[in-house]
Amino acid sequence: MKILVTGANGLVGYGFWDLAKKDPEKYILAGRSKIKYCGETRKGYDLTSPTETEKLFFDYEPTHVIHLAARVGGIQANMKYAGEFFHENIMINTNVLECSRAYSVKKVVSFLSTCVYPDNAVYPLTEDQIHKGFPHSSNFSYAFAKRMADIQSRAYRKQYGSNFVTVVPNNLYGPNDYFDLENSHVIPALIRKIYEAKHNSEPQVGAGVCVWGDGSPLREFTFAPDMANILLYILENYDGEDPINIGNTNEYSISDVTMLICSMLEYEGSIFWDTSKPRGQIRKPSSNQKFLDLGWKPENYTTLENGIKITCSWFEENYPNIRGA
Ligand code: GFB
């Protein structure tokens, strides 16, 4: 078994690094800037390009693909770069799935996101609802591009019998996240803002941490390093045509998350709620019942408290050498 992990230098791909160290023959860790296989590091491949994607498959001949590569970002990046998010994600998915077919890959697991569900879906989000309405306006272009990975997988299954499955995580966070202040997701943005506010000794006018919205939106969060085990579990145990929700389904308000990070980083300064910033959907709870029915145990997920603790410690050890700084 030779597993190609696309997007291996990102947040979720990071979870495969230790696995690849233990079993270097088994994993091909591919990112745009670099690729690692059998301990060797080489220049990576741009998956928005059909020819480069083809070269990746030709050079490494994977038998299985865990497809994580995507252009991603938080709510503001999705709004600002709607065109780029659509184009890059459509290209990446089209190229990776088509090459997987052409190179007779036995199984592909592709990553979607709970934000691809319709804005007016019935809660909790169940897999059958994924195409039944327009996504939330803040990330419609990303959502439609991701939905097409599901369509392409289904179409290839129908015509060629390809075992291409799709999985739906919710909001992810963890070590090696992207910590840009404007374009990242909420947890990395807040860890960085709170850490920098705590360590900034200069007295500033209006000092304090700026958190977007009013704190009321609810989100489900899954610790990204859990995803490596989850994806390997899916690779072994799920061959269905329909997408499957795989995230930890406990909901937290943005205000709870903010307080948790403040307490982990021992920040006692002020918080400023900026309601002029986008807040997105008020909630998007998902059902992971199908995944639990497959045998996954809720206690296998890292709790938000532990995950944030690990992520804050990682951040403190690595700052300022972090992605997005
Ligand atoms: O993480 P986030 O951008 O993801 O924002 P979404 C979650 C919530 O946190 C929103 C609030 O209500 C934000 O207003 N928030 C508070 C902040 N402070 C901040 C901050 O400093 N930065 C950010 N980013 N948010 C994304 C989708 O939506 O979810 C993507 O746009 C993707 O497509 C991802 O699927 C999982 O859940 O709102």
**Residues 156-174: tens digit of each pLDDT:** 999 999 999 999 999 999 9
Q: Residue 204 pLDDT more than 70?
A: no
C-alpha to C-alpha distance for 186 and 172, rounded to whole angstroms: 10
The confidence score (pLDDT) of residue 200 equals 82
Q: Residue 108 pLDDT more than 60?
A: yes
Mean pLDDT of 119-143: 97
Yes or no: say if 245 and 168 are a contact pair by the CB < 8 Å rule.
yes
E strands, 72-151, where?
107-111
Mean pLDDT of 227-241: 98
State the Rg of the chain over Cα.
Answer: 19
Q: Residue 96 pLDDT more than 70?
A: yes
The tokens for 287 are 């059902």
The confidence score (pLDDT) of residue 208 equals 84
Q: How confident is the model at residue 207 (pLDDT cuts 50, 70, 90)?
A: low
Helix (H) or strand (E) holding 18: helix 17-22
The confidence score (pLDDT) of residue 80 equals 97
Entry pTM: 0.96
Residue 307 CA to ligand 1 center (angstroms) comes to: 18
Residue 275 CA to ligand 1 center (angstroms) comes to: 13
Say yes or no: CB of residue 290 within 6 Å of ligand 1. no
Q: Which of 186, 195, 246, 277 to mutate to test the pocket of ligand 1 (most atoms within 8 A of CB)?
A: 186
C-alpha to C-alpha distance for 25 and 32, rounded to whole angstroms: 21
Mean pLDDT of 75-79: 96
Of 323, 53, 37, 15, residue with least CA distance to 188: 323
Residue with tokens 């972090």: 322
> Could you tell me what percent of the chain has a pLDDT over 90?
97
Say yes or no: CB of residue 26 within 6 Å of ligand 1. no
- Return mean pLDDT, the chain: 96
The confidence score (pLDDT) of residue 206 equals 54
- Residue 46 φ/ψ region, left for φ over 0, alpha for ψ in the -120 to 50 degree band, beta for the rest: beta
Question: What is the amino acid identity at position 171?
Answer: N
142 is catalytic: yes
